[in-house]
């Protein structure tokens, strides 16, 4: 399985340009024999949209979505966008296209609304955490902040995910004396931890570019199920990388370190129920 990571710099609010850019990259990737191309969170719109959210949302029947469906005949596509839901609320969503159709839709559940982030003001929370079956096996998708809540990869891996996709718009912040910015270090730590703890592949695709003085770090990466970094993309620069994902590594990693197998799933549910009753009553 060949996966291409598209570390792009979307133009803020310019859905036409971003769509054309993505469409071109999908065509090139298909020509190169790539099986799946992954774009960052909000790849069609950029991040600091504020009131533009209401102007750039696409519904599932939008012509651009139809076109991406059509393009997915030979190559699967995972991409972030502003979705205008059937309920006419707006979602920070990831669409997965496969075999000529919009196959799956995931809505960001954790909308950061603190410090420099203001997503909860504009977007509606997604409320489902569910892995899905793709032609590459069972996979899970998290959108940026979703991956900061460890219950999400836990649920996705319990639900059978063997590849965790994290698409993000992570800004550069937190200076250190040496080495990377703290935000970059934290993402590396998160990706490696989940890959190692759940013996799964983690494919993290972050954007680059600058909006209103905020730079996005890039540093996308692929981590294998032994916790080994298979590919790292550069800091701040637009880049693509094509990575061969060998699912045969999964049984090796899982016999070596069967942590996921030994998760006490029922016990966890029992304890969570106990805590629920303690906190919220019967």
Partner 1 sequence: MSSSVSVKKPLAINCEQVVKVLSGFIRTEVLKTGFGKVVLGLSGGIDSSLSAALAVRALGPANVIGVMMPYETSNPDSLADAELMTRSLGIAHRVLEITAMVKPFFEQNPEIDSVRRGNIMARMRMIVLYDVSAAEKALVLGTSNKTEYLLGYSTLWGDSACALNPLGDLYKTQVRALASYLELPERIIKKKPSADLWIGQTDEDELGFTYDQADAVLELLVDKRLSVHQAVESGFPADLVNHIMKVVRQTQYKRQMPLIAKLSNRTINRDFRFPRDWGL
For partner 1, how many residues bind (rule: CB under 8 A)?
33
Residues in contact with partner 1, shown as a per-residue x/- string from 128 to 167 under the rule CB under 8 A? ----------------------------------------
DSSP for 226-275, written as a single string: TS-EEEEPPBSS-EEEEEE--TTHHHHHHHH-TTTTT--HHHHHHHHHHH
State which of positions 19-48 bind partner 1 (CB under 8 A): 48
229: contact with partner 1 by CB under 8 A: yes
Closer to partner 1 by CB, 48 or 102: give it: 48
Among positions 74, 125, 134, 188, the unique one binding partner 1 when judged by CB under 8 A: 188
- Token digits of residue 159: 């639900």
CA distance 191 to 148: 10
Nearest to partner 1 of 37, 202 (CB atom): 202
Decide: helix, strand or coil at residue 90: strand
Q: Buried b / exposed e across 10-48, counting CB within 10 Å, b at 16+?
A: bebbebeebbebbeebbeebbeeebbbbbbbbbbbbbbb
Q: Smallest distance from the beta carbon of 87 to partner 1, in angstroms?
A: 22
Residue 114 sits in the site that holds partner 1 (CB under 8 A): no
C-alpha span between 277 and 282 (Å, rounded): 5
**Between 51 and 262, whose beta carbon lies closer to partner 1?**
51
Question: Which of 103, 211, 225, 253 is in the footprint of partner 1 by CB under 8 A?
Answer: 211
Give the one residue of 86, 87, 177, 262 binding partner 1; rule: CB under 8 A.
Answer: 177
Closest contact distance (angstroms) between CB of 240 and partner 1 is: 18
Using alpha carbons, list the distances in angstroms from residue 216 to 92, 95, 210. 17, 22, 6
- Residue 209 CB, nearest distance to partner 1 (Å)? 6
Sorted by sequence, the CB contacts under 8 Å of residue 109 that are 6+ apart come out as 125, 126, 127, 128, 129, 146, 149, 152
Asked if 213 touches partner 1 (CB under 8 A), the answer is yes
Q: Which of 50, 135, 273, 274 binds partner 1 (CB under 8 A)?
A: 50
- Asked if 172 interacts with partner 1 (CB under 8 A), we say yes
Q: Could you give the CA distance from residue 81 to residue 24 in angstroms, rounded to a whole number?
A: 17
Both tokens of residue 37?
A: 């191309």
Q: Give the residue, chosen from 215, 226, 231, 249, that forms a contact with partner 1 under the rule CB under 8 A.
A: 215
Burial of 91 (0-12, 13-18, 19+ CB in 10 A): buried
Q: Which of 61, 127, 178, 267 binds partner 1 (CB under 8 A)?
A: 178
Give kind and range of the element (H or E) at residue 189. helix 182-198
Q: Site residues (CB under 8 A) for partner 1?
A: 9, 11-14, 48-52, 172, 175-182, 185-186, 188-189, 192, 209-213, 215, 229, 235-236
């Amino acid at each position: 399985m060949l996966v291409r990571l598209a570390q792009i710099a979307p133009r803020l609010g310019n859905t036409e340009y971003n769509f054309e850019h993505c469409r071109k990259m999908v065509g090139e990737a298909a020509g190169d024999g790539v099986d799946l191309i992954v774009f960052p969170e909000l790849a069609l719109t950029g991040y600091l949209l504020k009131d533009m959210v209401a102007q750039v949302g696409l519904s599932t029947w939008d012509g651009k979505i139809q076109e991406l469906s059509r393009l997915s005949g030979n190559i699967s596509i995972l991409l972030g966008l502003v979705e205008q839901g059937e309920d006419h609320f707006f979602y920070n969503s990831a669409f997965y296209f496969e075999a000529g159709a919009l196959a799956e839709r995931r809505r960001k559940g954790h909308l950061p609304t603190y410090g420099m982030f203001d997503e909860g003001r504009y977007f509606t929370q997604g409320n489902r955490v569910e892995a899905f079956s793709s032609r590459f096996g069972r996979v899970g998708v998290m959108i940026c902040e979703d991956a900061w809540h460890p219950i999400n990869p836990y649920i996705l891996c319990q639900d059978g995910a063997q590849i965790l996709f994290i698409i993000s718009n992570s800004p550069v912040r937190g200076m250190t004396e040496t080495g990377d910015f703290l935000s970059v270090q934290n993402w590396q730590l998160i990706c490696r931890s989940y890959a190692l703890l759940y013996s799964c592949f983690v494919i993290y695709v972050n954007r680059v570019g600058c909006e209103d003085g905020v730079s996005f770090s890039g540093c996308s990466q692929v981590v294998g199920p032994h916790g080994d970094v298979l590919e790292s993309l550069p800091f701040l620069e637009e880049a693509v990388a094509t990575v061969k994902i060998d699912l045969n590594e999964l049984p090796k990693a899982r016999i070596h370190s069967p942590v996921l197998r030994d998760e006490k799933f029922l016990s966890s549910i029992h304890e969570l129920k106990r805590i629920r009753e303690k906190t919220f009553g019967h």
